[in-house]
Amino acid sequence: MEPFDYVIVGGGAAGCVLANRLSADGKQRVLMLEAGGEPASRWIAIPAGFSKLLIDKRYNWLFQTEPEPNTHDRRISVPRGRGLGGSTLINGMIYVRGQPEDYDNWARAGAAGWRYKDVEPYFRKLENYATGGTVRGKEGPVRLEQVSERFPIADSFLAAAAEDGQPMNADYNGDDQEGFGYYQVNQRRGRRWSAYDAYLQPARHRSNLVVVTDAHVQRLRFEGTRCVGVVYRRAGQQISADAQLEVIIAAGAFQSPQLLELSGIGRRDVLGPLGIAMRLESPGVGENYIDHYATRMNWRVRNTVTLNEMSRGWRLVREVARYYAQRRGILTLGTGLVHGFVKTRPEMDRPDAQYFFMHASYANAAERILDREPGMTIGVSQLRPESVGSVHATTPDPETQPAIRPNFLDSSVDRECIVEAMKMARRIVGQPAMKHYIARETGPGDATQDDAAWLEFARRNGQTIYHPVGTCRMGSDADAVVDSRLRVSGLQGLRVVDASVIPRIVSGNIQAAVMMVAEKGADMILADRPR
């Protein structure tokens, strides 16, 4: 294969952004390598199809955490998208910028040039949110809409939040995140709008962009301290690809550190037992793993029809017909209908917890099987967890899942926040506006009253909500894996541009932040190219 200027490892959200931006002027030859395939499933375009895709090994790596005592030694599913578009093919489509203080804290921690005033233009660059205010982008490639469906029980939940003293907020991605309202989602006219739709598909006609699917990168290639290419496996063959300017790793928070480790970059105590020769000791590789942990509180409801019933029998037939005729109805729904960004203590200066309200409840959440009786769920998540884990290779085989150890609920701050947020959710549901609908609380149930019981429920029933970051952290200290221009410290010709470089998790769903990082990263790469 002839040499390329840039080789991108990974075709997920960040990879799609990079492929588009780096190839846009036609001057650089760009190769993208994706271990998965084309986004061919009919379920991808249908927003509600995420429930099918989350258990489909063609589009999900189906990773699981290691058993840990904090969560009763459960193996917790951590879905990661596979295929062009990555996790934007299978996620709940919820779009959240986060809070300005998140990015200001990145800069304070050593990520120079990543304050909110530095990154906010990139959010506007990527957004296409026609109904947003002056701080929102309206001409970008990422189509955004507010959830279009309205249900009386959801409106009553908003009324209950107001009765509890919570503010309403029509645009939590505007000047202030706090409050309740309807979520914004990556959709266009009732169809999922993935990173593939926004960035890669429009660029695939370019002669200077080559996209290779079913290509699993095995290791990086070096000449001295310079990365000069990669070796990947496709159809049983080992193939080399050369990069004249840079290799850019965009494989995500689990597989980016794994690829570095298998290429000899990482911690000596990890690489030594695997028999991998040390090329560069970088103690931060695979460390600083942070994710959002969430509980799901459930209620049995009455006097309404919920998604539990609407997704079966003649009602489902009606909804399918409505979707294909009008692009409306329950098939346009993802994982969240109504949002809440709340302070668990009134003296706090900004929200520290997030709610996801849906008038649905799961009989088996792991397999996405809904209850047969009417129900509703409030997902409860801490916005900025302090518990930190790790992700490390366990064998020299790049196709073996790394060991994922999230260390959920290790911090007392995290434990206190999740307990207080669940108690607040119960208090809101107990307001007069919801009394017409609530039959009883089924999870954790009215018997759960003291903090120890609440925490036990969180330990036994909580799940990740699939926002892994931090495992190739950017910064200026000795443990940072990349510098503030996303270059791997101590090497040349190698960058990491994806969720793994995020030093501290943002306040909410991370896909917006990941695309912003890739937009800004692409500008940095182009600015640094030889003239």
Question: d(Cα 60, Cα 75) in Å, to the nearest integer?
Answer: 16
Question: d(Cα 64, Cα 114) in Å, to the nearest integer?
Answer: 32
Name the strand (E) or helix (H) holding 362: strand 362-364
b (16+ CB within 10 A) / e for 163-178: ebebeebebbbeeebb
Strand ranges (DSSP E) for 77-153? 77-78, 127-128, 142-143, 145-146
Question: d(Cα 381, Cα 68) in Å, to the nearest integer?
Answer: 19
Tokens coding 483: 């510098």
- Is the omega angle on the peptide bond into residue 444 within 30 degrees of 0, that is, cis? yes
Task: Provide the sign of the torsion angle of the four alpha carbons 33, 34, 40, 44, taken in this order.
Answer: negative
Q: Is residue 467 annotated as part of the catalytic site, yes or no?
A: yes
Measured CA to CA in angstroms, residue 245 lies from 24, 102, 486 at distances of: 16, 32, 15
- DSSP H helices in 1-99: 13-23, 50-53
Note whether 77 and 64 are within 8 A (CB).
Answer: yes
Q: Which of 292, 339, 392, 467 is catalytic?
A: 467
Tokens coding 96: 């959240």
Would you please indicate which residues are annotated as catalytic (active-site) residues? Answer: 467
